A and B are shown apart, each in its own frame.
Chain A
Amino acid sequence: MNALVLPVVLPLLTAFLLQPAGRLSAALARWAGPAVLLVCAGLLVQIALLTGGEPVTAAIGGFAPPVGIVFYADALALLMAIAVPVSALLLWPRAEAGEAGVRQSALMLLLVGSGTGMALSGDLFNLYVFYELLTVASFGLASATGTGRAYVATVRYVLVSGFGSLIALAGIALLYAQTGSLNLAQLADLAPERLANPLGLAAFACLLIGFGVKAELFPVNNWVPDLYACAGKPISALLAGVVSKLAVLVLLRLTVLVFDSPEAREMLMVLGLAGLVTGELAAWRARDLPRLLAYSSIGQLGLLFVALSLPGPAGLAAALAVALHHLLVKPALFMLAERWHGSLDKLAGAGRASPLAAGLFTLFALSLVGVPPLPGFWAKLLVLLELARGAGPFDLTALALVLAVTVVEAHYLFRLVGILYSPGEFRDRHSPRALAVAGLGGAVLVAAMLTLPAVSDALAGLASQAADTAAYRTLTLGGGL
């Protein structure tokens, strides 16, 4: 199944060819990117249809694993891989004339290629490389607005993620020293005997911190608020929405396959809780919408890590539910923040100026808070049920914190809803594209609510497949199709 490689290679290739192509024809440079993304998305969908959700692998260059690099595509990986080009298409930067536009398109393609690679790759070092590539692309995109504060925010982002990468590299080194392999499947084989020691845990901590930078994991998330406040909103949406989920996917694979120990889970939960509490509380005090959303995103991802720390397929299902919900809601909210960027108090009257946007915001807010029967509620319920199943003092503390923080979340979100609907002077309206993206998010949300039984079945399938380490190992090490 070497078609699996195309969605990674095509965008990368196009990215490098775009600069020369731009010299030839402006239209070509402008439309090549979206076209390639469409093709990639189509390819991935076709693969998904062909395999029917069954996992497949592809060994790159014909080298069989564990020596060669391997791609592993189960339903979850494919879903994430599809999400990357689709999100990028929806959030494609507004066309700028000339060099800058071409550069941005190239960076977007780079981001998509490496992102898809991250979703599919089954080799840790390969993941690391894609991760770095994606990071570099996101640096360029984040600073694309060209304002001084965007540069400063990006520098901060560069420093944090640079440091994160080297910690991850150190973790990889530790891992390699212990096992002599970086293939996830082989690591999974070796983990019980070689990694069930403090050194293994240290390696996990390093990897957690390294990949946690993108996943907005506490404590390496303090680049988030400034960057989201300064970067263009589509870029923020992309980073908060799909890119953070890719990093989460890596961590998910690592916890499920390699570091399936209580200590590792505990570490994940503590960091997740710290992010949840600090993020939501900071959002409570935020005074402008982009930063409010940034903080709230940190909080949501904290919840995601708490969910990720829960053992078993049920815990995995909870984590996936939270992740997919966030993937859907956060970009839509960031698109709404595109025009609602000022002080919160100045948004009074926005509800009258653009009723659709305000209605969508309210819908997303309700779902984020977790009001039944919206999907956000069911996601939260799954997490809470799994926490209650653990029933240790640690789990119950986490349970209490998650619940308490929800109250704070409801307060700041609905304080804002109240402001939106109160009479005021705010007259800015949204661009049709922002509204369309947000509307699409809302429509999917409502559709998921209406087809809840089907969605929940699909979710359970995804989770059980992702939790099935035996299948991963046999399939990957047993050679490709």
Chain B
Amino acid sequence: MNVASLLVELVLMPLVAFVVGLAMVLMMRRIAARLQRRVGPPFFQPLFDIVKLYGKHTQTSHGLVHDLGIVMAVGGYIAAETMLPVPGMTGIADKGGLVVLAYVMMVPSLGLALGVGQCANPNGSIGISRALTAMLAYDVPFIIVIFGVAFHFGSSNLITIAAAQQAAGIAGWGVSQMPLLALAGLFALHGMLGKQPFEIYVAPAEIATGPMVEMSGKHMGGLFVMQCFQLYTAAVLYVTLFLGGGENWLSFLAKSFAVLAVPVSLAYLFPRYRTEDLVRLMWKWPTMIGLLGLAFLMH
């Protein structure tokens, strides 16, 4: 691959991710609205939200680290998108791989944590403490899944993983080969997103207690952008690992949206988990399912 086309891909991949991510946000909000018998927001609402937040007159910053936190949060995901192969584009997926991606995805969280910490609001710090605890919770099943997939396909290169599934057809997909790991992965993915019923560490409903407490204006806008990327990344990663990756854009997008839509619809039915309960849940069921899946896989 020549450098020029690679550069084009590197620019395009985050852009596509952003647009798709906006649509995903819209979809999630629509689903929530439908479940609550509401109409839901209009099509461009996510974009309008971002624009509105950026355009606010009062923009309060608590210092450079506060700003840089947002920069890291957004920038980290932009980098992550270039490591996720999509139909027709692989970016630098061959130079990183699954483990690198998993760790690059932690950089935005760290950025956010730094930004919140600088705000000197104890409620924000409590939110970060919860968020990191939650990360410890959902990462355990997540890494079991990563291990299983990488071991199964004999590589941690996402391109190889996707290609192997596509070559073997649906029977060769991760989800058919390792259903238990796929199930565990779904749990972990959902925990990672911080949506109902695991949203306590984001605490979107309680402004005063949570990481977002000092976020407003551009900071909030940046986090909104990050959320788009986050949804996209999680969905696409799952599709790549278990659902054969993207043969073409149509099936790829359909699978990605489905990955989000199905569990979100189910999860809305559950009440919110406390942090400790989240940890307990994640370390119990998905971890056990994942380990069982590994046991099947390795014998």
Please say whether the chains A and B touch (CB closer than 8 A): no
Residues of B within 8 A of A (CB): none
Residues of A within 8 A of B (CB): none
